[in-house]
Amino acid sequence: MTPRLRTALVLLLAALALAAPASGLVVENADLTPAEVNLLFAMREYTLTYNEYADRLPGWVTGPFADETVNLYVTSPDGVLVMGITFHDKKVIQFDAKGCPDPIVTVTTDVATVEAVMVSDRPFDTFRAAMQNGTATIEGNNLLGMLRTGMVLFGFRVMDILGM
């Protein structure tokens, strides 16, 4: 082996050793607390469950946002974590820890509500209860978002009136 090749090999191995994480997952966004990182990855994992469940949700809930982006603001004692969610054909296709530019709506809630929805056997009902008790809100960010949000909120009211 020539000295030049040996030097190149040593530099390559050193670069790989320095680049490889010592213990598992590395998150580069230093602004996230460990609790927020855990919540972020739990939400990403829950996306698989949501996508299986999405077809069972009422069309008036999923339809207005079927091919849109939504920002989820999750409040905690540490601050506010913004998560961008991109939907296509009622399914979550992208999850962004930094939020989405120009989302159609913003959903605001707290960590406890997000966790309750994720572990619930009836996540739609759990979210609806959070809307009723004020721990979750939906706000349209533009005219189309306001109209679509109004349609969803109207549907929730009808369900309440009918006792569903």
* Residue that wins the pLDDT comparison between 37 and 110: 110
* Residue that wins the pLDDT comparison between 19 and 63: 63
Would you say domain 27-162 falls under CATH 2.40.50.220?
A: no
Model pLDDT, residue 28 = 42
> What angle, 0 to 180 degrees and rounded to 10, lies between the N-to-C axes of helices 123-133 and 143-162?
100
At 31-56, the pLDDT tens digits run 677 777 788 788 878 888 888 878 88
Model pLDDT, residue 3 = 47
Q: Where are the domains positioned within the chain? A: 27-162
Model pLDDT, residue 22 = 37
Residue 141 pLDDT greater than 60, yes or no: yes
**What would the two tokens of residue 106 be?**
């913003």
Residue 129 pLDDT greater than 80, yes or no: yes
- Among left, alpha and beta (phi > 0; psi -120 to 50; other), residue 140 is beta
* Band of residue 15 on the pLDDT scale cut at 50, 70, 90: very low
Model pLDDT, residue 73 = 92
The residue-averaged pLDDT of 94-117 equals 88
Altogether, the residues listed in the chain come to a count of 164
